[in-house]
Amino acid sequence: METRLRLAIQKSGRLQEDSLLLLRECGISIDNGRDQLKAGARNFPLDVLFLRNSDIPQYVEDGVADIGIIGENTMIEKQRPIERVLALGFSRCRLSIAVPRATPYAGIHSLQGKKIATSYPNTLRQFLAQHDLEADIHEISGSVEIAPNIGLADAVCDLVSSGSTLFQNNLEEKEVLLRSEAVLVASPQLSGPAREILDKLLFRIRSVLAARQYRYLLMNAPNDRIDDIIRILPGMKSPTVMPLATEGWSSIHTVIAEESFWDIIDQLKAVGAQGILVAPIEKMII
């Protein structure tokens, strides 16, 4: 019987969408219909389980799922003995404490003795202990931001992405407990053929993630400026230089990091690069 790797992902929401997009970019086609709780891949030994996000750590720990994609905040909160295999770079957010905008706040010790509403009691409790603080923690599932407005709490501890939800509820972010992103986790029971399949999957994922961080760059340049251009380029290795049909000109090809893209473009233009073309990279095998 064929061994198939079982991957648990969120049953709905942005984390599910980004997880399925990652699989597609890895060349894995999932046959999932509407409201299915399990779907198989046609071209890779992988089955996907669609579960509630908060349940995934338990399923992975028990070996019902071999691996899972969850927010790092969920992994930390649930405190399950599962392996953090790889950070995936999407679904970035932070777990923060916020208070009503009109509330005086003179630093973290202003939280002493306060009532704090949260869906992350374990993480909050650990944070308070690290700062020798005591507070009354009210555990709430969903709509945490409303708690101060109805007199249930003095502050909230919740996930923040853009901060718009806090603003709409007249709250102001004050303390960041942790920064989170989607992570791939694995069961402590994973071994043998399933571990070998995971290694193949990780190879594909790392290739996709690496490609997202870089751009392929092509430009034309006069030959007497090639050395100046090469000194600017922080490419993976020496760039490719090819002569053009026009005498005295060459085409230069290289790969640059997305984060430094615009600074490098400005420098290249300043030393004579022309006809600069930028292309996305689909996969990068390092």
CB contact at 8 A, 205 and 88:
yes
Q: Write the pLDDT tens digit of every residue in 224-263.
A: 999 999 999 875 668 999 999 999 999 999 998 888 889 9
Contacts of 257 (CB under 8 A, 6+ apart): 213, 214, 215, 234
What pTM was computed for the model? 0.86
252 burial via Cβ count (<10 Å: 0-12, 13-18, 19+)? buried
230 burial via Cβ count (<10 Å: 0-12, 13-18, 19+)? middle
171 strand-pairing partners: 100
What is the CATH number assigned to the segment(s) 214-280? Answer: 3.30.70.120
CB contact at 8 A, 46 and 5:
yes
The DSSP code for 259 is: G
CB contact at 8 A, 89 and 210:
no
Superfamily per CATH, domain 93-180: Periplasmic binding protein-like II (3.40.190.10)
Q: Write the pLDDT tens digit of every residue in 125-176.
A: 999 999 999 999 999 987 899 999 999 999 999 999 988 999 999 999 999 9
Longest alpha-carbon distance in the chain: 77
The pLDDT-based confidence of 31 (bands split at 50, 70, 90) is confident
Establish whether domains 5-91+181-211 and 93-180 are of one fold.
Answer: yes
Locate the domains of the chain by residue range. 5-91+181-211, 93-180, 214-280
